[in-house]
């Protein structure tokens, strides 16, 4: 329901009547032009008032002050109404520091925030430049867009190095792949998101890493980075079959349980299966089994059932059973937190929208900026803890006695 407008005051009515007469307004475009002109004139008057205050006397007054006015300097400012020309007062001692429009400031529209918001949605520098010109009527070069977004780089570096909690009951690692240009060659790079569930059941993005070739050495360096930022213990680390991750966890966090991501395990199994619905239903009976023994038995039964049609489909289940099976020690509430990867999947869907906006990123730095901004937009919605966290935390504190705060 639309909000009812307040009755207009006499003062406002007089101002509008004066505007209509002064500017001969006939259209919405005329209103925009009038507001642009008024904005420039208002800023001009405020700058003059600031100079009066700075010098301690008005124009044409006598004063003992040795400093004095020294003409004006023309400056083009950008606002949401377009570009306006103003004349900034100058003083002989060059000590005047205007506040309404600061030195070297040309944008008063909050356009930088708008550019960053567009970048977060995955728009290219060219698309942003074109949209700004279409909406506001002034040109913003692609170089300027890059310069504005590059201001984020120190912030990103600081965020990547920020101290973390000492304990995370559950940590997820997942990847989304992007095409990135490198010296004229387009490469596929993985953006790895490390997401933790803290002891209050709240989700935190711990780190975003861009990598090309996974290895034990690579993952050990990533996990050591978490340790250096204060993470002393992780109860369960859930990830896909990343090359070298199992060995790296054993070195960096020897007490941590590595759980193969069930969602990815199921997806990989069904990749080349035609009877997806029936096969998926059978797979569900494995990871929903009440115990590891029952799960293993169901795994063998499902393998036998589909062996004739899909002889290799279940091979990864038996090969990786040691990292699939940890889930069976937990109750249904804890299992749901581990294998329903809603938190990281919702984040990944945000990242995938970046892929829909642009097919290739010009550099890995450009990709990192977009991922960082998209992450901060996504986490704004994370206001509640994981469902049934009280039960989950209670069970984990018994299962991993003495390790949770």
pLDDT digit string (tens) for 133-190? Answer: 776 566 667 777 777 778 788 888 999 999 999 999 999 998 888 999 888 889 888 8
In this predicted structure, what is the pLDDT of residue 101?
A: 77
Q: Domain ranges in the chain?
A: 14-59+68-108, 110-151, 166-399
163 CB burial (10 A radius; 0-12, 13-18, 19+): exposed
CA 148 vs. chain centroid, Å, equals 17
State the pLDDT confidence band at 59, using cuts at 50, 70 and 90. Answer: confident
The terminus-to-terminus CA distance of the chain in angstroms comes to 48
Residue 69 pLDDT: 84
pTM over 0.75: no
**Over the stretch 87-133, which tens digit does the pLDDT of each residue have?**
888 988 888 888 877 887 777 666 667 777 777 777 777 877 777 77
Helical pair 111-120 and 364-379, crossing angle rounded to 10 deg: 100
Least confident residue range of 40-54, 204-218, 303-317, 385-399: 40-54
pLDDT of 47 above 50: yes
pLDDT of residue 172: 94
Q: Quick one: how far is CA 229 from the chain centroid? A: 20
Q: Who has greater pLDDT, 137 or 26? A: 26
Q: For residue 1, what pLDDT band results from cuts at 50, 70 and 90?
A: very low
Task: Compute the distance between CA of residue 332 and CA of residue 328 in angstroms, rounded to an integer.
Answer: 9
Q: Give the list of residues 6+ apart from residue 108 with CB closer than 8 angstroms, or none.
A: 43, 77, 78, 79, 101
Residue 111 three-state SS? helix
Instruction: Give the Cα separation of 39 and 31 in Å (integer).
Output: 12
């Amino acid at each position: 329901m639309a909000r009812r407008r307040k009755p207009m005051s006499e003062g406002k009515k007089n101002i509008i009547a004066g505007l209509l007469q002064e500017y001969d307004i006939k259209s919405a475009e005329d209103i925009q032009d009038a507001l642009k002109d008024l904005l420039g004139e208002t800023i001009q008057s405020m700058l003059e008032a600031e100079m009066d205050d700075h010098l301690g006397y008005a124009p044409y007054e006598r004063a003992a002050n040795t400093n004095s006015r020294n003409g004006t300097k023309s400056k083009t400012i950008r606002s949401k109404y377009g570009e306006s020309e103003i004349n900034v007062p100058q003083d002989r001692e060059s000590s005047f520091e205007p506040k309404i429009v600061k030195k070297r400031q040309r944008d008063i529209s909050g356009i930088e925030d708008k550019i960053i918001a567009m970048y977060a949605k995955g728009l290219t520098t060219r698309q942003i430049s074109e949209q700004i010109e279409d909406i506001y009527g002034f040109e913003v070069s692609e170089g300027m867009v890059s310069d504005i977004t590059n201001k984020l780089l120190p912030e990103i570096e600081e965020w990547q190095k920020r101290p973390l909690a000492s304990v995370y009951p559950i940590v997820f690692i997942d990847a989304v792949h992007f095409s990135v240009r490198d010296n004229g060659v387009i490469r596929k790079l993985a953006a790895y998101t490390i997401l933790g569930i803290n002891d209050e059941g709240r989700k935190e993005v711990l780190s975003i890493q861009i990598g090309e070739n996974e290895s034990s050495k690579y993952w050990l360096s990533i996990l050591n980075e978490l340790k250096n930022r204060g993470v002393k213990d992780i109860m369960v680390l859930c990830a896909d079959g990343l090359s070298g991750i199992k060995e790296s966890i054993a070195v960096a966090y020897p007490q941590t349980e590595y759980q193969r991501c069930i969602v990815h395990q199921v997806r990989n199994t069904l990749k080349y299966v035609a009877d997806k619905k029936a096969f998926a239903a059978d797979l569900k009976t494995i990871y929903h089994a009440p115990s590891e023994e029952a799960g293993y038995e169901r795994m063998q039964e499902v393998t036998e059932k589909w062996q004739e049609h899909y002889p290799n489909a279940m091979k990864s289940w038996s090969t990786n059973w040691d990292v699939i099976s940890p889930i069976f020690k937990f109750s249904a509430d804890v299992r749901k937190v581990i294998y329903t990867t809603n938190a990281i999947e919702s984040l990944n869907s945000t990242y995938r929208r970046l892929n829909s906006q642009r097919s290739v990123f010009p550099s890995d730095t450009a990709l990192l900026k977009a991922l960082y901004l998209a992450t901060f937009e996504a986490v704004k919605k994370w206001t509640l803890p994981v469902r049934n966290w009280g039960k989950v935390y209670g069970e984990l504190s018994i299962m991993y006695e003495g390790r949770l705060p």
